[in-house]
């Protein structure tokens, strides 16, 4: 959580889980639990979220990921993200995806690059949910167009 403004206590974490469940109920997709067969039933999440706040690139669907530390460094986030893009552009028929993080989050940016996303420098933005003046306010914006990927399986 180093690149997020705060960590979450149990009540806040439960509230996030409920909000994400409502996202699935409303849209039929969301941040899926990442199961690694034979390793763990829950390594974290990789999935899709509607951008629900006021930013210049909204409306948009974000692809995002968050894995528990023991599961970093094995390619799991990238493998799952590739599956998610195929689902987004195939079954869901979305025209494109965005992803964003703070400039210093090199691991997250590396996943974006590995799945073919492009950094749109002119669209970098100040995150509206991070207080003005906060060191984590500036975000880099990446995009992936459905037309930039091959046919889905
Ligand atoms: C962002 C995050 C999911 C990236 O995790 P990650 O493990 O670096 O990414 P991947 O799962 O794609 O793994 C890539 C690494 O596995 C290695 N790897 C091993 N086998 C691999 C394979 N078959 N395919 C791809 N990579 C493989 C890669 O070389 C790379 O190694 P590195 O650690 O030397 O860079 C993770 O750092 C995280 O959860 N961070 C905290 C939450 C966060 O910041 N989320 C994003 C907020 S916007």
Supply the residue whose CA is at minimum distance from atom 15 of ligand 1: 73
User: Could you tell me the residue ranges of all domains in the chain?
Assistant: 10-148
For position 52, what pLDDT does the model report? 87
For position 125, what pLDDT does the model report? 97
Q: Is the CB of 32 under 6 A from ligand 1?
A: no
Task: Report the residue among 64, 67, 124 best suited for mutation to probe ligand 1: largest number of ligand atoms under 8 A from its CB.
Answer: 67
CATH T-level fold of 10-148:
Aminopeptidase (3.40.630)
- pLDDT at position 81 is 98
Q: What is the pLDDT of residue 151?
A: 58
What is the reported pLDDT for 25?
Answer: 98
Give the relative orientation of helices 76-89 and 106-114 as an angle to the nearest 10 degrees.
50
pLDDT tens per residue across all 153 residues of the chain: 889 988 999 999 999 999 999 999 999 999 999 999 999 999 999 999 999 889 999 999 999 999 999 999 999 999 999 999 999 999 999 999 999 999 999 999 999 999 999 999 999 999 999 999 999 999 999 999 999 886 544
Does residue 70 line the site of ligand 1, with CB under 6 A?
no
| 3-41 residues labelled b (16+ CB within 10 A) or e (exposed) | eeeeeeeeeeeeeeeeebeebeeeeebbbbebebeeeee
Atom nearest to 105 CA in ligand 1: 44
Position 150 scores a pLDDT of 67
Instruction: Determine the 3-state secondary structure of 118 from DSSP.
Output: strand
Q: What pLDDT score was predicted for residue 149?
A: 80
């Amino acid at each position: 959580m180093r690149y997020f403004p705060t960590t979450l206590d149990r009540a806040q974490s439960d509230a996030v889980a409920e909000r994400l469940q409502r996202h699935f109920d409303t849209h039929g997709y969301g941040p899926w639990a990442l199961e690694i067969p034979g390793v763990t039933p829950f390594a974290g999440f990789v999935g899709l979220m509607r951008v629900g706040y006021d930013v210049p690139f909204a409306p948009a669907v974000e692809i995002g990921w968050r894995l528990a530390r023991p599961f970093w460094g094995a390619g799991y986030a990238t493998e799952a993200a590739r599956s998610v893009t195929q689902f987004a552009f195939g079954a869901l028929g979305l025209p494109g995806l965005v992803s964003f993080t703070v400039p210093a989050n090199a691991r997250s940016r590396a996943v974006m690059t590995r799945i073919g996303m492009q950094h749109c420098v002119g669209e970098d933005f100040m995150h509206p949910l991070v207080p003005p003046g906060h060191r984590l306010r500036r975000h880099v914006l990446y995009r992936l167009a459905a037309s930039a990927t091959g046919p889905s399986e």
